[in-house]
Structure 1
Amino acid sequence: MGDRQKIDGQCLCGAVQIAAVIDAPTLVACHCGMCQRQNGGPYISIMTEQAGTEASGPIKVFKSSDWAERAFCGTCGSTLWYGTLHDGARYLSSGLFPDAAGAPLTLEYFSDNCPQGYAFSGDHRRMTEAETIAAFTEGGEPGA
């Protein structure tokens, strides 16, 4: 186990404040169509401890599918998190935290949907759309 630490972040305008606990932080990128439409590119989240996450400010939540919600700042529109409804998990936007808490990219979802105009370098796991959907629908730990 790594050393648990608290990280603090905020949206673009500062109206939403986020505090989270991390242990061996990692980044995950998603190239699904909804993430691309919402963010103008991939959605990059930082893996945090769910129990240690606190958020305050003008938070707006949009139910984007039968299984998920997306949260954003009601003032500036910054993306805050992608959340799964069945377990209440929140995958916080890495951009909320300075230097994305120094976390390395370890996983890409929907890697075969990544536009041709960019690609992430480095040696990390890349799951195709079929692999991503199978991991989530089988109730397993995606990316494990």
Structure 2
Amino acid sequence: MSEQQTLQGQCLCGAVSLEATVQNQSVGACHCSICRKWGGGPLMALECGDDVKFGGEAHIGVFNSSEWAERGFCRDCGTHLFYRLKGGGFHAIPAGLFANEQWQFDHQVFIDEKPAYYDFANTTKNMTGAEVFAQFGASQE
């Protein structure tokens, strides 16, 4: 797989389809409390820029989860579709929406919020919430 690749996916019921250009072969896990509350565990996602197109947009619900980001889901089946920055430039698309097993799980964010009841065996780059905010030049408040 090349570094950038355009992939197609869809929600469980097929009402929403998407086409996204993934930035690399990396899958990351977000352990923030919002991701864990949203899906019952960490969000396992691929990083995409703004090159994401959706079909069936009437079926997409959007939840403003913070001052800087929002989350999309299928209104019919509940499938998580994206986490994206409101200012643009970044989408995290759940890895399970795409049929591919060639990716590498190589980074975890908000590692300081990960609960003790699970661990991954992979060796990854780990970033705290403060380090993530610093990377994006944002304030936590």
Q: TM-score, normalised by structure 2?
A: 0.85
Amino acid at match of 2:127: M
Quote how far apart the aligned CAs of 1:7 are. 1.3
Aligned-partner SS, 2:92: strand
Aligned-partner SS, 1:48: strand
Structure 1 residues 92 and 39, CA gap change in structure 2 (3 angstroms):
same
Quote how far apart the aligned CAs of 1:132 are. 2.2
Quote how far apart the aligned CAs of 1:4 are. 3.7
Matches within 5 A, 1:42-53: 42-51=42-51, 53=52
Aligned-partner SS, 1:13: coil
1:19-61 deviation line (CA, Å, top 9, x unaligned): 122353211111001101001000111123432x211121111
Which segment drifts farther, 108-117 or 130-139? 130-139
Structure 1 residues 133 and 75, CA gap change in structure 2 (3 angstroms):
same
**Aligned residue for 1:142?**
none
Question: Structure 1 or 2: larger strand share?
Answer: 2
Q: TM-score, normalised by structure 1?
A: 0.83
Q: Is the contact between residue 49 and residue 90 of structure 2 (CA under 8 Å) also seen in structure 1?
A: no
Superposition RMSD on alpha carbons, in Å? 1.9
Question: What is the CA–CA distance in structure 2 between the aligned matches of 1:23 and 1:35, rounded to whole Å?
Answer: 21
1:35-91 deviation line (CA, Å, top 9, x unaligned): 01001000111123432x211121111111111100000100111000101125321
Amino acid at match of 1:116: A
Matches within 5 A, 1:125-136: 125-136=125-136
Q: 4+ residue runs of structure 1 moved beyond 4 angstroms?
A: none
1:109-134 deviation line (CA, Å, top 9, x unaligned): 11121122211222220012332233
Question: What is the CA–CA distance in structure 2 between the aligned matches of 1:9 and 1:88, rounded to whole Å?
Answer: 20
- Asked whether 1:75 is paired with 2:108, we answer no
Amino acid at match of 2:10: Q
Structure 2: runs of 5+ lacking an equivalent:
none
Q: Is the contact between residue 46 and residue 103 of structure 1 (CA under 8 Å) also seen in structure 2?
A: no
Structure 1: runs of 5+ lacking an equivalent:
140-144
Question: What is the CA–CA distance in structure 2 between the aligned matches of 1:21 and 1:135, rounded to whole Å?
Answer: 22
Structure 1 residues 66 and 42, CA gap change in structure 2 (3 angstroms):
same
Q: Is the contact between residue 107 and residue 124 of structure 1 (CA under 8 Å) also seen in structure 2?
A: yes
